[in-house]
Amino acid sequence: MTLPRCVGLLGGGMIGAGWAARFALHGVDVRLYDPDPDALRKAGEVIENARRAMRRLTLAPLPAEGALSATATLGDAVAGADFVVESAPERPELKRRLLAEADALAPPEVVFTSSTSGLRPTLLQADMRHPERFAVGHPFNPVYLLPLVEICPGDRTSEQTVARAAEVFRALGMSPLVVRKEIDGFLADRMQEALWREALWLVNDEIATVAEVDDAIRLAAGLRWAAMGTYETYRIAGGEEGMRHFMEQFGPALQWPWTHLTDVPELTDELLDRITEQSDAQAGGASVRELERLRDRCLVAVLRGLRSEAYGAGEVLAEYENRLRGLRT
């Protein structure tokens, strides 16, 4: 059986409720343990939003929904669950204790994941009797819509646990990315945090307003990022000569004090070769023109979606179209 029959959720706030929605909408029964007496109501509201979003997202038939119930004790959430997801507050001691308590209550074959945004799994699994069954499974908000989930194994995580977590997440329509080396903040939050730091500096130094910083992202790079990541985007920016050319052209600028994040790796031949080779492999033989056309089709799809909401770049597009049609906006 690919999906568990029943999942135990420890913590049902923003992220736990998002997991409740993703599991329930894929036919998995959900047992939610959260000391907040309002947790079940809140999770029910999140599931309602998720239903609405899924109806807009896909016409594909989903299985009959799993049942959602709140449990009075940790033991009741874990009892009978084939998979356990911890989404309690980001406090290392709390998570560590909660995981150790839940671990003592579940048969050893039940896989546990933690939604932590950046705590190392080796730390979180430290007090578990069966640390091999545990890995980080870091999702993104809203959990029921965004596909990425970073799986980060700790020192004592088994390969079977990583494989099982990936299998379950995939069956929920997600795209698991296994983090190769344990690192604080994993991949996505490290990059988001770098951007966030710079955004805070720009407002702190009164160079831009909050809205200007947001426009600087959402009307340009943010749209490209929805289709292609940083490396793919820069490969195209290197033109026909590709990634190495881009690195040679813009590499030296990384040393200039443009940003507050000026500590950059030395661009050794070894690093340049690695980036170029991996970038070529990522392109899979596609020419820069083919990549540009793929990017453009994706951007048009995103822009059309945003236009239907008349928000962000979609608002800009809607106003532009109205002007073209000679209408007042």
* Residue 166 near ligand NAD by CB under 6 A: no
Report, in Å, the least distance between residue 114 CB and ligand NAD: 7
**Residue (179 or 283) nearer to ligand NAD, CB:** 179
| Dihedral, 35, 37, 41, 43 alpha carbons, nearest 10 | -10
Q: How many residues bind ligand NAD (CB under 6 A)?
A: 25
User: Is the CB of residue 5 less than 8 Å from the CB of residue 28?
Assistant: yes
**Residue (41 or 323) nearer to ligand NAD, CB:** 41
Report, in Å, the least distance between residue 219 CB and ligand NAD: 23
Using the contact rule CB under 6 A, the part of the chain among 30-38, 148-156, 160-168, 225-233 near ligand NAD is 30-38
CB neighbourhood size of 246 (10 A): 21
Tell which one of 37, 61, 89, 284 touches ligand NAD (CB under 6 A): 89
Tell which one of 19, 23, 33, 186 touches ligand NAD (CB under 6 A): 33
* Residue 92 near ligand NAD by CB under 6 A: no
Residue type, 146: L
User: In residues, how long is the chain?
Assistant: 329
Token pair for 188: 């996505």
User: Is the CB of residue 66 less than 8 Å from the CB of residue 29?
Assistant: yes
**Residue (11 or 242) nearer to ligand NAD, CB:** 11
* Residue 11 near ligand NAD by CB under 6 A: yes
* Residue 88 near ligand NAD by CB under 6 A: yes
- What is d(CA 84, CA 9) in angstroms, rounded to the nearest whole number? 6
* Residue 61 near ligand NAD by CB under 6 A: no
Q: Which residue's beta carbon is nearest to the bound ligand NAD? A: 13
**Residue (120 or 307) nearer to ligand NAD, CB:** 120
- Which 109-148 positions form the footprint of ligand NAD (CB under 6 A)? 115-117, 138-141
Token pair for 121: 């799994």
**Nearest CA to 139 among 2, 305, 14?**
14
Whole-number Cα distances in Å, 5 to 50, 103, 147, 172, 203? 20, 19, 21, 13, 48
- Which 207-226 positions form the footprint of ligand NAD (CB under 6 A)? none
Strand order in the sheet with 148-153: 68-71, 29-33, 6-10, 83-86, 111-114, 134-138, 148-153, 175-178
Tell which one of 8, 16, 176, 312 touches ligand NAD (CB under 6 A): 16
Residues that bind ligand NAD (CB under 6 A): 10-16, 33-36, 39, 87-90, 94, 98, 115-117, 138-141
